[in-house]
Amino acid sequence: MEVYLNHILKEQKFQFFYQPIYDLSTWHIFAFESLLRVPDQPKLHIEELFSIARRNHTLYELDTFAITGAVETFPFALFTEPQLFINLFPSTLLDNRFEYFLYQLIMKYPQAKGKIVFELNESAKEQASWAAPELANKIQWLNHSGIPIAIDDVGAGSATLKQIIEYKPKYIKLDRYFAKDLASSKEKQQIVQLLTNYNVEYTTLILEGIEDEKDLAIARALNVPFAQGYLIGKPQPISYYKTQYTFHNGIYKYQ
């Protein structure tokens, strides 16, 4: 399997899918998250590819390739309102090459300026990067460049309240664990309510993993501002959302 995965990495046989994030108060698509896929292996866990790239010391190259592809294939001229969430390893952000890479990317795709949100990856193998003193400066540099961050999988893995307080992300993405059976769990409702109320001037909650209508209804009742999940929008090639969603004054509505 590893030989096959190395072949995929070498040939860069990838496709970019996009999953919508909805504003629950308006049912408008607020953003899309870009997701890397291998066309002939739809069930392949992309994390395996990134793990191999890490072992081969090519994680930076794969990560920046994925960022470039996400921007290159997204129709900013058509989707004028939604933001584009792109996953980013903290180790990539800390790499000395990244600032020039990002400068070149925006120069080549100026329509992406002000539209990108970097979703920081919370892999356990990134703990050293999360602990690096210079990470805060790199995040501050992104903010000054007009690129906010999101912290992914809050409540699971390595994402902690400490990171939320220290790095002041524009968005916190609450792990899908809290969306599953939300309607029947008072404890999960209390946590979701707590983080929804934490929506201070610089941080907004996105609830991941919405797959049940009852859980969605409770999320709305708790005033969760944004949500993402298979119930309201599966990862698809961006062409799907061009044709399946109705265009109204620059905003696509959930139907």
Longest dimension (CA), the chain: 49
- Nearest-angstrom CA–CA distance, 190 and 179: 12
What is the CB-side half-sphere exposure of residue 229 using CA atoms within 13 A?
24
Query: What are 186-243's pLDDT values in tens digits?
Result: 999 999 999 998 866 779 999 999 999 999 999 999 999 999 999 999 999 999 988 7
Asked if 93 and 135 count as a contact pair (C-beta separation under 8 A), the reply is yes
Query: What pTM does this model have?
Result: 0.91
Residue type, 167: Y
Query: What are 137-180's pLDDT values in tens digits?
Result: 999 999 999 999 999 988 876 567 888 888 999 999 999 999 99
DSSP secondary structure string, 155-217?
TSTT--HHHHHHH--SEEEE-GGGTTTGGG-HHHHHHHHHHHHT--TT-EEEE-----HHHHH
DSSP letter at 81? S
- Reply yes or no on whether the pLDDT at 251 is more than 60: no
